[in-house]
């Protein structure tokens, strides 16, 4: 979710510390120098219904149907447990949303019919109050970094007013002392705090306003370099993972392609002055429909377009007209001016999808991951929505977003140390996590360990493998 304005130890010790600390994280799994904690994806309620010393940490992500992905963190001494949303499209970590202003629920009249928009568990006020809150007065390690307050605006109308504090933060047993973060004095349209995993505003090797959590992990020696892997899994899987300092070679097909992140020069409003904007920017060079019979059709994307990778975005935002063209090819119905599309739910189970051509790698976004099903209420049938829309917000240069739908079909490694993305087609053949080292070629190269025919079928057509996702398993 991109904001539009913004404002550890030696391996032997770490293995012991992780083993002890993991007990407070439900579903935690401990290995030699790393720990695995679930990351979840939060489901929507009925929406659109009529009336090793290995040097890495593997943190599970829960997938509850894609209003967002969440992880559990601990703040302070003694630790206070909270859930936060994972967001590669922003930078700040902040907690304590205003639950009284979190709701998105509303009724609208569409073509003479009443449509009820229900809250997801990320915006429901009752769920918000269950997610834990940070009380600075109960922590013996809280500090005041003496930084000015900030007002953050995300996509849509999600906002947060934050004051900065510092305190100990732990994720999956990896801890950073005196980490700076925000506590909300007010927020709107979110029932959960947000942990941004985007790069610092000053660049990948720049601390920006203050050092970020990933940078601090690398400086402490808990991981060898500031890098993490993201495995969101498909829509029907309950959990994925974020691995700090590691790569799971059984979660993708073929070799990881290395693509340098781009820096974008933009103009300030009402000024000819420019500034450098750092995000996970790359270029999409082609988009191609892959039909169930294997035949293809290319889309007109104006040659190529700049895009960012943002797991906090529920949709892919594409050049104007592309979302509508995809909808037509799926025999869907365009429901608004930005190409939002309803389709027959049977389309989710068809082989094929849309291939995105990047530098040196094609990623197939399966129909299963591109189309999301919302269960109807009061006896109404389910509604299936294609998670693409046209980006009608004018920015120069034009910038799209490859959101959670795209990232569910890919395995992505975000390498801050070298300002690179390493990406391949997602698969699931088990688990073999390899630590990321330090230096120019720090991310493990070569082919993945996924070679089974079933895994290849998943990579080509995006169909579920049926491999169980384990929470709380030991990686030794």
Is the fold of 11-247 the same as that of 251-461?
yes
Confidence of residue 395 (pLDDT cuts 50, 70, 90): confident
Q: Measured between alpha carbons, how far is 310 from 196 in angstroms, rounded to an integer?
A: 10
pLDDT at 334 (0 to 100): 92
pLDDT at 267 (0 to 100): 65
Report the mean per-residue pLDDT for the chain: 79
Q: Measured between alpha carbons, how far is 193 from 173 in angstroms, rounded to an integer?
A: 20
Q: Nearest 5 degrees, angle CA 368-CA 370-CA 376?
A: 75
**Residue 387: HSE in the Cβ half-sphere, 13 Å Cα cutoff:** 29
Does the pLDDT value for residue 273 go beyond 60?
yes
Rounded to 10 degrees, the C-alpha dihedral 329/64/234/22 comes to 160
Does the pLDDT value for residue 9 go beyond 60?
no
Average pLDDT over residues 232-250: 83
Please identify which residue in the block is written with the tokens 């025999």: 331
Percent of the chain exceeding pLDDT 70 equals 73
Kindly list the domain boundaries of the chain, sorted by start residue. Answer: 11-247, 251-461
| Range of weakest confidence among 315-319, 406-410, 457-461 | 457-461
Does the pLDDT value for residue 217 go beyond 60?
yes
Task: Note the pLDDT tens digit of each residue in 56-111.
Answer: 777 766 654 445 788 899 999 999 999 999 999 999 999 999 999 887 766 655 55
Please identify which residue in the block is written with the tokens 């930078």: 91
pLDDT at 365 (0 to 100): 98
Task: Name the strand (E) or helix (H) holding 369.
Answer: helix 367-370
Does the pLDDT value for residue 46 go beyond 80?
no
Range 449-455, long-range pairs (CB < 8 A, 24+ positions): 449/249, 449/250, 450/249, 450/250, 450/251, 450/252, 450/253, 455/253, 455/427, 455/428, 455/429
Does the pLDDT value for residue 292 go beyond 80?
yes
Catalytic residue list contains 231: no
Average pLDDT over residues 50-55: 48
Topology of domain 251-461, per CATH? Answer: Cathepsin D, subunit A; domain 1 (2.40.70)
Confidence of residue 123 (pLDDT cuts 50, 70, 90): confident
Please identify which residue in the block is written with the tokens 């949709």: 315
3-state SS assignment for residue 78: coil
Catalytic residue list contains 87: yes
Q: Measured between alpha carbons, how far is 429 from 408 in angstroms, rounded to an integer?
A: 16
Q: Which of 119, 167, 231, 310 is catalytic?
A: 310
Q: Measured between alpha carbons, how far is 46 from 391 in angstroms, rounded to an integer?
A: 26
Percent of the chain exceeding pLDDT 90 equals 49
Q: Which two tokens stand for residue 274?
A: 């420019």
Q: Which two tokens stand for residue 1?
A: 């979710």
- List beta partners, residue 93: 195
Confidence of residue 286 (pLDDT cuts 50, 70, 90): very high
Q: Measured between alpha carbons, how far is 211 from 197 in angstroms, rounded to an integer?
A: 12
3-state SS assignment for residue 14: helix
Confidence of residue 278 (pLDDT cuts 50, 70, 90): confident
pLDDT at 133 (0 to 100): 96
pLDDT at 31 (0 to 100): 41
pLDDT at 114 (0 to 100): 57
Average pLDDT over residues 274-287: 87
pLDDT at 102 (0 to 100): 84
Higher pLDDT among residues 195 and 105, named by residue? 195
Does the pLDDT value for residue 16 go beyond 70?
no
Task: Name the strand (E) or helix (H) holding 323.
Answer: helix 322-329
Domain 11-247, CATH number (from 3.40.190.10, 2.30.40.10, 2.40.70.10, 3.40.50.920) = 2.40.70.10
Please identify which residue in the block is written with the tokens 């007013």: 161
Does the pLDDT value for residue 436 go beyond 60?
yes
Cα separations in angstroms, 125 against 94, 102, 116: 18, 6, 17
Q: Measured between alpha carbons, how far is 312 from 319 in angstroms, rounded to an integer?
A: 19
Average pLDDT over residues 207-217: 86
Higher pLDDT among residues 33 and 395, named by residue? 395
Q: Which of 87, 119, 231, 449 is catalytic?
A: 87
């Amino acid at each position: 979710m991109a904001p539009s304005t913004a404002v550890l130890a030696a391996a032997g010790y770490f293995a012991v510390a992780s083993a002890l600390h993991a007990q407070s994280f439900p579903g935690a799994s401990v290995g030699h120098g790393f720990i695995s904690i679930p990351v979840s994806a939060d489901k929507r309620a009925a929406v659109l219904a009529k009336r090793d010393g290995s040097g890495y940490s593997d943190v599970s992500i829960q997938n509850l149907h894609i209003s967002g992905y969440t992880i559990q963190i601990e703040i302070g001494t003694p630790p206070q447990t909270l859930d936060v949303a994972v967001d590669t499209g922003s930078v700040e970590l902040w907690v304590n949303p205003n639950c009284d202003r979190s709701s998105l629920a509303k009724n609208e009249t569409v073509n003479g019919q009443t449509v009820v928009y229900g809250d997801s568990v990320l915006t429901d006020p009752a769920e918000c109050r269950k997610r834990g809150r940070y009380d600075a007065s109960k922590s013996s390690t809280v500090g005041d970094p003496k930084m000015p307050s900030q007002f953050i605006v995300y996509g849509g109308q999600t906002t947060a007013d934050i004051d900065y504090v510092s305190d100990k933060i732990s994720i999956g047993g990896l801890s950073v002392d005196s980490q700076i973060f925000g506590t909300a004095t007010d927020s709107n349209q979110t029932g959960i705090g947000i942990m941004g995993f985007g790069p610092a505003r000053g660049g990948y090797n720049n601390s920006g306003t203050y050092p970020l959590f990933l940078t601090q992990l690398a400086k402490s020696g808990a991981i060898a370099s500031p890098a993490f892997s993201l495995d969101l899994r498909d829509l029907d899987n309950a959990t994925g993972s974020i691995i700090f300092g590691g790569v799971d070679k059984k979660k993708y097909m073929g070799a990881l392609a290395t693509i340098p992140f781009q820096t974008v020069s933009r103009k300030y409003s009402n000024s000819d002055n420019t500034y450098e904007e750092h995000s996970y920017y790359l270029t999409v060079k082609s988009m191609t429909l892959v039909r169930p019979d294997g035949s293809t059709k290319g889309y007109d994307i104006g040659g190529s377009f700049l895009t960012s990778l943002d797991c906090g975005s529920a949709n892919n935002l594409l050049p104007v007209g592309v979302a509508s063209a995809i909808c037509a090819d799926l025999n869907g119905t365009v429901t608004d001016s930005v190409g939002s599309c309803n389709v027959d739910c049977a389309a989710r189970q068809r082989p094929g999808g849309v291939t995105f051509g990047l530098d040196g790698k094609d990623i197939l976004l399966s129909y299963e991951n591109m189309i999301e099903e919302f269960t109807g209420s009061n006896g109404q049938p389910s509604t299936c929505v294609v998670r693409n829309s046209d980006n009608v917000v004018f920015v120069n240069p034009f910038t799209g977003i490859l959101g959670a739908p795209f990232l569910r079909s890919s395995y992505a490694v975000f390498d801050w140390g070298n300002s690179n993305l390493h990406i391949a087609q997602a698969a699931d053949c088990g688990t073999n996590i390899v630590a990321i080292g330090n230096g120019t070629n720090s991310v493990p190269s070569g082919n993945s360990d996924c070679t089974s025919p079933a895994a290849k079928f998943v990579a080509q057509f995006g169909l579920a493998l049926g491999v169980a996702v384990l929470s709380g398993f030991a990686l030794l």
